[in-house]
Chains A and B, each alone.
Chain A
Amino acid sequence: MKLYEYEAKNIFSQFGISVPRFKVVSTPEEARSAAEEIGGRVVVKAQVLVAGRGKAGGVKLADSPQEAYSYAKQMLGSEIKGEKVRKAMVSKAVDIERELYLSIIIDRSIGAPVILASPEGGVDIEELARTKPEKILKIVVDPLIGVRDYHSRQAARFLELSEQAFRKAQEITINLYRVFENYSCELAEINPLAITPEGSLEAVDAKIILDDNALYKYPEFSSEFTRDLGYYEAEAKKMNFSYVELDGNIGILCNGAGLTMATMDSVYVLGGRPANFLDIGGGARADLVERAVTLLLQHPKTEVIFINILGGITRCDEVANGIVGALKKTGVSKEIVVRLKGTNEEEGRRILEENKIHVLEEMDEAARKAVELGGRR
């Protein structure tokens, strides 16, 4: 789960990483008084989770409290790349001499944390990795040992700093690793890390992505776990299912992530357009299957529902009862293609066929049938 900039900055502050003074506001009036209180030039920043808010008008420099008021008025309630702006940050505008980059990520290939440092911050790090890979230093940290002074010296040296800033960069590297560990981060990033004319280092922007599997450790965020999810994703999450919205018309419901992906891919390869990814996992009972099917019956763009079950711990009769229950309770009729294979297959087939739902045995023929009903691309 990605945190908002202000949440990340609050964490940074607690861990001794200096950030420009800021206030979080939700009305233009609050923005004006925040700008008055902070004094001088301020930056008004929309608090959204989508990337690229700057180019989309979500970051504005204000010379006066009145200007901060107008910018906040424009931003609050508007949408940036489809995400509604509910809060904005009014932050002190800092003079920047140079911009650096510093982050700690989990490197999946190595299975370890990696410190990334660059003397050329302020730009997209993926872009920098493509154009000037020699400007990025990568330091692998043994997860059992954690960050050490020699790592931080190595990082700070690469940033081409004065002696005073060098020590601060070392401190920030250590502190950023503490944030990374304490909050079970997938990513903790400062971009840019600004050097001011006075020689101090300030985290002008902040990004933290928490590991969803570790959220139970941070109840302060987990209550808002579903905040960046759409309606269908949030509903599926409540049932412990995974849901992802796609742009076609054939709804996909399967057990297991790999099979669900392979099913939507098969529909695509055979010429159709998958509408969503809905993985009900292993061992779902009839009541949960019913809720999952109901979700797809209610989904406006889904015209055909393709249910592909290869039952191991998932029982085909439970799935069949779930499907029948959803159709009866919602009264919605959509084309449904079912492929059932595995545990209690015969019983599942009997239940569905009694309710006039045709059951197929092989995945390919079922995918072809779904494409035929949904129409080709």
Chain B
Amino acid sequence: MTVLVDSETRVVVQGITGREGSFHTKAMLSYGTKILAGVTPGKGGSTIEGVPVYDNVIEAVRRHPELNTSVIFVPSRFTADAVYEAIDAGLDLIVVITEGIPVHETMKFVRYAKINGVTIIGPNCPGVISPGESKVGIMPGHVFSKGHVGIVSRSGTLTYEIAYAMTKAGIGQSTSIGIGGDPVPGTSFIDALEMFREDDGTDAVVLIGEIGGDMEERAARYIVEQGYEKPVVAYVAGRTAPPGKRMGHAGAIISMGVGDAASKIKVLREVGVEVAELPSQIPSLLVRVLKK
């Protein structure tokens, strides 16, 4: 089994006619993702890569009632609107790829999604992939392989690096969730750990954190308080990052004395999570914890 996306996932691409949207629609289709519809206001009636385009999500859902997932590529100024539209159209999962959304807007749509029981992945994220089943996002599919380890990560390319190392070592993934690099994500490490806990296709979890905020610390507390049954290994990026500087991601900043890598690593180790010094060590840590 997998979490969030699988062969039953039916996708609408919001912002499908844009440069990013059309490029990744093609890549997702060739991976095997079932994309039934695209949406761009004003472009209804056209097609992109054989996918019909509608003016709004509600119309797309009316024409394709099997739709359950949206992936959003629209520019940051219009993203909040696209998210509300997808929530109101009744979709279950919304993957927000867009970077640069004002955090005041994100706080609001994340809250609105929670109230409506909708899962948001992102913003500012690579998306979700269940290798061999479905890819809803922008990650290069070939670095992933089908297997039984879940990945949850705040980063994009670093996830590809680690997935690539795992795949090379013969360790496949059930699902890889990129929760994104923004300060307020729709899905947290704890949310993802919960999903993997319930999934009998996942035997262990790789958690890829970075500086900023306290999501890694909260995950550590959750693991120890809940007596998390599956082994978790981790990598935390940014141990050489200076305080007060934003390291690329809006959320990757040590501020007001909170969020440095050393204290995250310490807290994770205290609850028994093995933390790698180098990304390349993740596969051997996994082999070790899975043997136990």
Which positions in A face B, CB cutoff 8 Å? 106, 108-109, 111-113, 126, 142-144, 181, 184, 186, 211-214, 216-217, 242, 244, 246, 254-262, 264-266, 268-270, 274, 277, 279, 281-282, 310-313, 341-343, 362-364
Q: Which residues of B contact A246 (CB under 8 A)?
A: 240, 242
Q: Across the interface, which residues of B come within 8 angstroms of A217, CB to CB?
A: 102
Residues of chain B within 8 A (CB-CB) of A255 are 157
Q: Are B140 and A343 in contact (CB under 8 A)?
A: yes
B237 within 8 A of A: yes
**CB of B178 to closest CB in A, whole Å:** 10
- Docked-complex contact A274 and B157, CB < 8 angstroms: no
Known: A109-B213, A186-B103, A312-B138. A258 touches B76 (CB 8 A): no
Given contacts A106-B183, A108-B183, A261-B252, contact A143 B237 (CB under 8 A): no
Contact between chains at B160 and A310 (CB < 8 Å): yes
Binds A, one of B32-40, B87-95, B107-115: B107-115
B212 contacts across to A, CB distance below 8 A:
108
- Contact call A212/B250, Cβ cutoff below 8 A: yes
Interface string of B146-170 (1 = CB under 8 A from A): 0000000111111111001000000
A277 near B241: Cβ-Cβ < 8 Å: yes
CB of B184 within 8 Å of the partner chain: yes
Q: Could you give, for residues 251-292 of chain B, a 1 whenever the CB lies within 8 Å of some chain A CB and a 0 otherwise?
A: 110001100010000000000000001111000000000000
User: Complex Cα distance A242/B252, Å?
Assistant: 12
CA distance A142 to B108 in the complex (A): 9
21 A-B interface contacts by CB (under 8 A)? A126-B257, A184-B102, A211-B104, A257-B247, A258-B153, A258-B155, A258-B156, A258-B157, A258-B249, A259-B156, A259-B158, A259-B160, A261-B210, A262-B235, A265-B237, A279-B247, A281-B248, A282-B138, A312-B156, A362-B280, A363-B279
Residues of B with C-beta under 8 A to A144: 108, 111-112, 115
**Chain A: interface secondary structure?**
mixed
Task: Tell whether B77 is near chain A: CB-to-CB under 8 Å.
Answer: yes
Q: Beyond A259-B158, A261-B252, is A106–B103 a contact (Cβ under 8 Å)?
A: yes
Q: Known contacts A310-B164, A342-B140: does B184 contact A106 (CB below 8 Å)?
A: yes
B155 touches A111 (CB 8 A): no
Q: What A residues does B139 contact at CB under 8 A?
A: 312
How far, in whole Å, are A259 and B164 apart by their CA atoms in the complex? 13
Distance A269 CA – B277 CA, assembled complex (angstroms): 7
State how many angstroms separate the Cβ of B204 from the closest Cβ of chain A. Answer: 20
A82 to nearest B CB, angstroms?
13
Q: Which residue of B lies closest to A209 (CB)?
A: B255
Q: Which residue of B lies closest to A215 (CB)?
A: B102
Chain A residues, Cβ within 8 Å of B8: none
Q: Residues of B contacting A216 with CB < 8 Å?
A: 77
Closest to B100 in A: A213
Known: A214-B102, A266-B279, A312-B138. A258 touches B241 (CB 8 A): no
Report how far A98 CA is from B240 CA in the complex, Å: 41
- How far, in angstroms, from A254 to B161 measured CA to CA in the complex? 12
B184 x A111 contact (CB < 8 A): yes
Kindly state the separation between the CA atoms of A279 and B154 in the bound complex, as whole angstroms.
Answer: 16
Could you tell me if A261 and B140 are in contact, using CB atoms closer than 8 angstroms?
no
Question: How near does chain B come to A89, taking the closest CB pair, in angstroms?
Answer: 23
Tell whether, in the assembled complex, residue A282 and residue B156 are in contact, meaning their CB atoms are under 8 Å apart.
yes
B107 interface neighbour in A111, A259, A270, Cβ under 8 Å: A111
A109 contacts B214, CB within 8 Å? yes
Other-chain residue from B111, B218, B237, B250 in contact with A258 (beta carbon distance below 8 A): B237
Tell me whether B239 is interfacial, beta carbon within 8 Å.
yes
- Chain A residues closer than 8 Å to B111, beta-carbon distance: 111-112, 142-144
Inter-chain CA distance A211–B253, complex, in Å, is 13
If A310-B160, A312-B138 touch, does A184 touch B239 (CB 8 Å cutoff)? no
Min Cβ gap A230→B in Å is 11
Q: Is the CB of A211 within 8 A of B157?
A: no
B181 is an interface residue with CB less than 8 A from chain A: yes
Interface presence of B238 (CB below 8 A): yes
Residues of A within 8 A of B158 (CB): 256, 258-259, 261-262
Pick the residue among A181, A214, A265, A277 that contacts B248 (CB under 8 A): A277
B4 contacts A by Cβ under 8 Å: no
Chain B residues contacting A364 (CB-CB under 8 Å) are 278, 280
* Docked pose: A260 CA to B155 CA in angstroms: 10
Closest 5 CB pairs of A and B: A258-B155, A257-B248, A256-B157, A258-B158, A214-B102
- How many angstroms from the CA of A364 to the CA of B279 in the assembled complex? 9
Nearest-neighbor residue (CB-CB) of B251 within chain A? A108
Cα of A270 to Cα of B280 in the assembled complex, Å? 13
A258 touches B257 (CB 8 A): no
